Structure 1
Amino acid sequence: MKKLIILSITTSFLVMLSCKDSGPKQRFLPPSTGGINSLMVVMDTELWQGGVGDRIREQFAAPVLGLPQGEPKFSITQIPPQVFKGAITYSRSVLFVEQDTLSLGHIKTDVYAKPQKIAVVKGETYNDLVGNIDSLAGIAISSFKKVEISEAQKRFTRSLNKEKAFEEEFGISLKVPSLYKVGKREKNFVWMDIQIPKGTMNIVAYTMPWNSFSNDSTFVNDIVKMRDSIGKKYVPGPYENTFMVTEKAFSPYIFPAQIGGKKAAEARGIWEISGYPMAGPFLTYIINDKENNRKLVLEGFTFAPSAEKRDYMFELEAILRTVKFNSGS
């Protein structure tokens, strides 16, 4: 009887194992490839050179907001469908456009590689294709940007700065590449920067009272006043009585955002040095940290004269988006 019980248990265990093994096996996907903010467009060259291609360029190569010179959202490479095979299919962000009797536009995830986003647009006529491109563009750009941010973060998190300035001053963690160094730290203000070939990339953090920016009608002006006062106090220019301010000619672009699991406002614009010809782009997040009765301000700005700045600012955004609020902070 005892032997029968043991045999029964053993048989049941083997059946369970065989059932587990017979399940669907996860398909191996190679790592995706490509430069940050690069987009592979797969479509017939004739379509690319015509009105459909023009619409794609209007949507996916539109200038990034808040940069001094026009730089496209994505660096686009176009290839015909017959070339899209082998290692080329591992591209991280892909837009596939095809003339077809079907009319559709959707996003596919991790088809040939991982992580990967493929936006597929099909249509029979010019109007079908252009209409589907316009309908899908916003979602596709957001999907591509998300996967590009993740890739940028993956690359720099291999070697992180171990300084505790942000944690000690604000109770937050921020994944900052190891080459960034703390250049200034005072009560309620931390500034880290890194030397780049033609200038610097910078991250600053400080807090504002919870009731700041309570008036919607003056929101943009209040952000400018805040930045200018912080610049005057903490960010000097090259000569005495020069300091960083928000460029007077144009108001910053403002967007709603979600940062570190909290509601925030995103501001993009141009900074300049009062009384001296220096300028560059900035990205500011004003985060509603209700638990700590404050607004946490994180900002990235770049000084890189005569250089393209899109990818510098993209890296700063990727860093700022790693913020986490420590429990009890």
Structure 2
Amino acid sequence: MKNFSLLLIALLLFSCNDGPKKKYLPESIGAINSLGVVISNDLWEGAVGDKLREHFAAPVVGLTWEEPLFSLEQMPQKVFTGTTRYRRAVLFVDLDTVNVAHLKTDLYAAPQEIGVIKGRTQEELITNIETYADEFIAAIKGMELEETQKRFLRSLSKDKILEEKFGVTFRLPSIYKLGKQEDNFVWIDREIQKGSMNIIAYEIPWESLDNDSTLVTDFIRMRDSIGEKYIPGPDIRNKKTYMTTEDAFAPHFFETEIDGHKALEARSIWDIENYPMAGPFLTFVIDDEANNRKLVVEGFTFAPATNKRDYMFELEAILRSVKFK
């Protein structure tokens, strides 16, 4: 009986250790918002490539000039080997005997999203691109935002001003510094090579911006009043300068969610009243019913003669990291 018991224990231990082993995956590589496109040269240079560029290199909404959603890097299949397979974001497009499109997550590395698009003809490839592009873009962008937020953890700001004033925390890199604070306003910024990246936060009443028919007017009036009160422009003799919303570009609005709270997302161009300065902004108006308010957080960039996509993407990653205490 004693020997039988020992044998039973040994079998149990062996069976526990003989379970499925977790697959080791190397860390993925690649610049943020860079998308590797594995496709033959012939397809890339024809209608299929045009359709890919139409969707995956579409202009980012709300920038001062056109910049692509992703920086596309085409490569033929024979190049997609070794460490090249560790790229974080990949599209695999090819003619085949099947007509399919799907996402593969963490196939060769982690984190990783690979969009696979196959078709028996070029027409089927184009149809699959049109059908699945939005889904693939959302998955890749979500991964890139998470990757950017993870990189912030290397050096986070210890400033508690946003928590003390508004009861929220941000995953804010330490390079951002407090620039101004008032009773209902905080301005945080960081210097960049040719300008600055900025974050502002303030509260508005719960019932604000609830009328869809006047949303554009009400939103611009709100932003411009904050700009006039808190965000001055350069000193110009006999002129008042302050941040406003550029009249020539109506804001683009989207519904979104931040930390489980409904939010209104707005993108457009800011400028300075009575002075030639402008740049992109991204605003989130976040519902906070528990505190009978809406919290407004905004990121804007001043970087003349410089591409701004990646600056605005970093600001979006910070703003989407808001956590309510």
TM-score bracket, normalised by the shorter chain, equals: over 0.9
Match of 1:279 in 2: 278
Structure 1 residue 17: Cα displacement = 2.2
Shift of 1:12: 4.5
Specify the alignment match of 2:288 in structure 1: 289
Q: Paired residue for 1:239, among 211, 220, 235?
A: 235
2:104 corresponds in structure 1 to: 108
* Root mean square deviation of aligned Cα: 1.2
Q: Which residue, 90, 101, 118 being the options, matches 1:94?
A: 90
Which residue does the alignment assign to 1:221? 217
- Displacement of 1:15 after TM fit? 3.0
Alpha-carbon deviations, 1:228-266, whole Å to 9, x = none?
000000000012510000000111000001112111000
Residue 82 of structure 1: aligned partner: 78
Partner of 2:160: 164
* Counterparts of 1:248 and 1:265, CA distance in 2: 20
Q: Which residue of 1 aligns with 2:142?
A: 146
2:112 corresponds to 1:131: no
Give 3-state SS (helix, strand or coil) of 2:226's partner.
helix
Aligned to 1:55: 51
AA partner of residue 300 (structure 1): G
Runs of 4+ in 1 over 2 A off after TM superposition: 10-17
Aligned length: 322
- Deviations along 1:113-169, one digit per CA (max 9) or x if unpaired, are 000000000001111000001111000000110111111111122101100010000
Is 1:120 matched up with 2:119?
no
Q: SS state of the match for residue 175, structure 2?
A: coil
Separation in structure 1 between the aligned mates of residue 241 and residue 276 of structure 2, nearest angstrom: 10
Structure 1 residue identity aligned to 2:199: I
Identity fraction in percent: 56
Structure 2 CA distance for aligned equivalents of residues 16 and 243 of structure 1: 73
1:288 partner letter: D
Q: Distance in 1 between matches of 2:282 and 2:8?
A: 61
Gaps of at least 5 residues in structure 1 are: none
Partner of 1:186: 182
In structure 2, C-alpha distance between the alignment counterparts of 1:52 and 1:325, rounded to whole Å? 45
Residue 322 of structure 1 aligns to a residue in which SS? Answer: coil
Q: TM-score, normalising length from structure 2?
A: 0.97
- TM-score, length basis structure 1: 0.96
Over residues 293-324 of structure 1, what are the superposed CA-to-partner deviations in whole Å (9 max), with x where a residue is unaligned? 10000100000000000000000000011110
- Equivalent residue, structure 1, for 2:173: 177
Q: Deviations over 1:253-285 (max 9, x none)?
A: 000011121110000000000110000000000
Distance in 2 (CA, whole Å) between partners of 1:30 and 1:267 is 37
1:200 match: secondary structure: strand
Give the corresponding residue for 1:306: 305
Aligned to 2:253: 254
